[in-house]
Structure 1
């Protein structure tokens, strides 16, 4: 078998098998990292989502900066007054397979800073040029409870007045003239509660998906190419050994020249047909 593997063509096969193993090992590693990311996200959500709410000032000290990774989905509460004139519609937001608007309203706090509140989702109006009707937020002082989410990326789109392409807090701050904290609240409840409000967001998805199973499948595939090459090389070596052994027996019978008296002449051994394989046809 090793004499077969030393041939240039089979060395190329071995190189391809090793390359295949490297690729599948890295694909398995990528799926494993995706699985670990999903596990970390699930653990973070489960740790923060149902925890007792804390004052927003304990997490966000003031404007500027970013929401720490460990405080995402942190359940907080804040008290202030809604700046209804600064209400904005965030376009192209899906909810249960339907697209509409997220309604964001700044909540002005006692220290003069403001916290962006995502009050929920409303369906698109029948006409694209028309904004949908939105239930009014509570007037006067209100205490909101919800989950902290980081500012979204600025999509760089020019939008009509009072509309946003994403919940981009710096852009909302520029449009409203308010000093906004660097994260927004995904609203859970308001006190006093209004008669109606936009539809609440669905709980976050904490399913892990199939990344772990895919990683195992890729890693089990790593040695397949090498095994195939070794099995084929072994079979080629065995076939060549049988053919060379048959030729040696045939030449010995012819070279003896004499047949013992009274003995039947030896019948020539039928030559075993050579097996033709795909790789032999390719070389022909």
Structure 2
């Protein structure tokens, strides 16, 4: 939904490259009128802002025009993979007989690419060296699945593969977070960093808290205040960071932290991010 690729620790093919995509996310995905989108759009219906050259007509004004949701979506490279590899460069406009199938494949392939991205990240971390071999084998299997023909791709039980990969990701996360000094872990847990369930962190005041090595897996952190918080080596997989205030916070070493999550949050130029992530333009 943007014209620029996300930076990533993963291989280039796991980062969105909209110039090589047929605007698939702007057509395939549905959305409802909300604070993230200015109007309703059904699945398979091109967004009115999508031009015939597959570029967004309001790319530089998405937030101002009410399309904040577009700025926080990342296909992990699934869009260009479908466009240029799976469908060999055959645009859905010129081949309408394949359009619906192509649109259905996007969410499936995106999930596989997301898993590949997380595994690649863990294979690059020295703390998880004992798991690199296991990750390598599973990575090859998931990558093979990502190269399947459309019909086979749509038949996959992706939830089963997600479960297998997640078990290894959890082990890797624990290894990375185990390197946090016990005093830091204890201090963070004694305050507000212990991971619970549901909306525990919705609007939570965590300003200045020591959260090193904390797990925010799947946490709802909408509008939470993490200003000046130390979250180094925290696990962010699946965390909802919409409007989370990260001003002056330290997120270096964050595990499974994505550019799309950062784009959904608030922060400033003093927020410390992992090297592979960028300060969003709306923070400046």
Which TM bucket (shorter chain)? Answer: under 0.3
Relative to its length, the structure with more strand (as a share) is 1
What's the TM-score once normalised by structure 2's chain length? 0.23
Greater RCO structure (CA 8 Å; 6+ sep): 1
Rg larger in structure: 1
